[in-house]
Amino acid sequence: MRLVEALSTGVGSHDGVVLGRGIAELLRDAYRERQRTVPRWVRALISYYARETGAP
């Protein structure tokens, strides 16, 4: 989450959430494409950014 926060410094709150969600989804898709288990930290990132928007 620190990386996403560093990358989104200077952008609006909404844009930071969109960026974070996009990075999390790209990571998840990359692990799935390689038929690997999605690591806990990627799942935590996805969950964190889902909460930021109020999504279940």
Domain residue limits, the chain? 2-52
pTM score, two decimals? 0.72
- Say if CB 20 and CB 4 are below 8 A apart: yes
The tokens describing 18, both together, are 């969109």
Q: What pLDDT, in 10s, does the model give residues 3-50?
A: 777 767 777 777 888 888 999 999 999 999 999 999 999 999 999 888
